[in-house]
Amino acid sequence: MSLVSITVCARDAEDWVHQCLSSLLSQDYRPLEIIAVNDGSVDCTFERMKTFKEMNEDSDIELIIIDSEPKGLSAGRQIGLEHSRGEWVAITDIDCCPEPNWISSMMFVSEGHPNEEVMAVTGRTVFNEGTTRVSRLRSKEIHRKYSGRSRLTTLANGPCSMFRRDALISIGGFNPSWFHAEDMEVSLRLIEQGGIIVYSPEALVNHVAEEKMSIFLRKRKRDARAHVRIIMKYGLRGGRLPNGTTVNHDFTGDAVRASVYFPLFLFTILIVICLSKSSHEIGFFSGSILGLISIHPASRLRLLWSIYLWFGVLLGFCDYIFKKRGH
């Protein structure tokens, strides 16, 4: 049996340390090691990591705790990779709780089919529905994304994947300069080397609900900003599998659907201005449109989502122009 190293990076995540590390210790696969990286937290994350390790000294799984300056998720994943000893290196997030068969399910398909060089295996992330409209929307969108995923894919998702360590090191691992989307970047690089990424829907990881609108919007802006880097490097269409099939980028589905709301809103306002005969009519019809949006929560959420996406795209192009954040 091959040693698998699980790495998890955390910043200011004291409330999630226990449940995440407990789920990792509950994995039914052996041999296993866990590497937890504290990315410069200012709360009690590091202390809770150390306390958890002391409470589980008798476990047959080695738990390594590393304290780091705040360098970001990509740098944290690289630190975990550098300290790993496994043939395979798995990554997850601190706000996730993998099912006990997460690693074993991925290892089951890691050999692939004949003549396939499997360099990564990815599982399925399920977002808790939570109690808000935002959390239910996020849960629904993630479910839709995974429901259409084929056996061979272009993305080993950050919360639920593992990589062949030698393959990951051969492409340079996780670049600390990357602003988010580090899982997508290494996935596409592995595919460029002729590697295969296999999707295992049985390898399940549970993600906490994204209930606050402010957090949801901030993350969608961050996603869009990082995806500009991916598009500029790999094109609009996405990655090309070894058999020649081109597969769309993982983010194209929900992002494209959401992105149309803001341009459509601006177009509607423009039509109102063009057709109105006076400033009074412009104010009346524009106010009516805004009123309809304000009383319809789903439309308001999707409009805000779209605005933040386009703001992220703008920031991404600024990063590209000034060669920042991994460009």
Same domain (yes/no): 166, 272: no
Domain boundary among 159, 183, 211: 211
Residues 15 and 109 in one domain: yes
Q: Which of 156, 183, 211 is the last residue of a domain?
A: 211
- Side by side, the strands of the sheet bearing 196-207 are 62-68, 32-39, 4-10, 88-93, 161-164, 118-127, 196-207, 96-98
Whether 301 contacts 134, CB under 8 Å: yes
Residues 158 and 119 in one domain: yes
Residues 121 and 71 occupy one common structural domain: yes
pLDDT above 60 (res 292): no
174, 288: one domain:
no
For the chain, the average pLDDT equals 90
Put simply, whether the predicted model's pTM sits higher than 0.75 gets the answer yes
Peptide linkage before 31 cis (omega within 30 of 0) = yes
Q: Which domain holds residue 287?
A: 213-231+249-327
56: domain CATH number is: 3.90.550.10
Asked if residue 239 belongs to a domain, the reply is: no
Check residue 235 and give its pLDDT.
Answer: 83
**Residue 200 within a domain:** yes
Same domain, 189 and 284: no
Residue 192 domain flag: yes
Query: Which residue in 130, 11, 29, 4 sits closest to 66, CA to CA?
Result: 11
d(CA 182, CA 19): 24
Please tell me whether residues 130 and 223 are part of one structural domain.
no
For residues 35 and 61, the answer to whether their CB atoms sit within 8 Å is no
Among 54, 20, 23, 55, residue whose Cα is nearest residue 37: 20
CA 80 to mean position of chain CA atoms: 17
Number of domains in the chain: 2
- Using the predicted structure, report yes or no on whether residue 252 has a pLDDT greater than 80: no
For 50, 71, 72, the CA distances from 67, given in Å and listed in that order, are 10, 11, 13
Whether 98 and 157 share a structural domain = yes
pLDDT for 299 equals: 75
**Same domain? 187 vs 55:** yes
- Rounded distance between C-alpha atoms, residue 320 and residue 327, angstroms: 6
- In this structure, of 47-56, 166-175, 254-263, 279-288, the range with the lowest mean pLDDT score is 279-288
The residue among 241 and 186 whose pLDDT is bigger is 186
Q: Is 21 inside a domain boundary?
A: yes
- DSSP class of 193: T
Residue 131 lies in a domain: yes
Q: Which of 165, 31, 161, 30 is nearest to 88 (CA)?
A: 165
Burial label, 271 (beta-carbon count in 10 A; 0-12, 13-18, 19+): exposed
The answer to whether residue 238 is domain-embedded is: no
Instruction: Say if residue 227 is in the same domain as residue 201.
Output: no
Domain assignment present for 105? yes
Residue 281 has pLDDT above 60, yes or no: no
User: CB of 319 within 8 A of CB of 229?
Assistant: yes
Contact 47, 16 (CB under 8 A): no
Same domain? For 194 and 301 the reply is no
Which tokens sit at 226?
A: 């990082």
Whole-number Å distance between alpha carbons of 261 and 254: 12
Residue 9's pLDDT band, with cuts at 50, 70 and 90, is very high
DSSP-derived pairing of the beta strands 62-68 and 32-39? parallel
Three-state secondary structure readout of 276-288:
CCCHHHHHHHHHH
Neighbours of 13 (CB within 10 A): 21
Token representation of residue 205: 């990881």
Query: Would 33 be classed as within a structural domain?
Result: yes
Q: Are 202 and 256 in the same domain?
A: no
Q: What is the pLDDT of residue 147?
A: 87
Q: For the residues 162-179, what does the mean pLDDT come to?
A: 97
Q: How far apart are the first and last CA of the chain?
A: 39
Residue 297 pLDDT > 80 = no
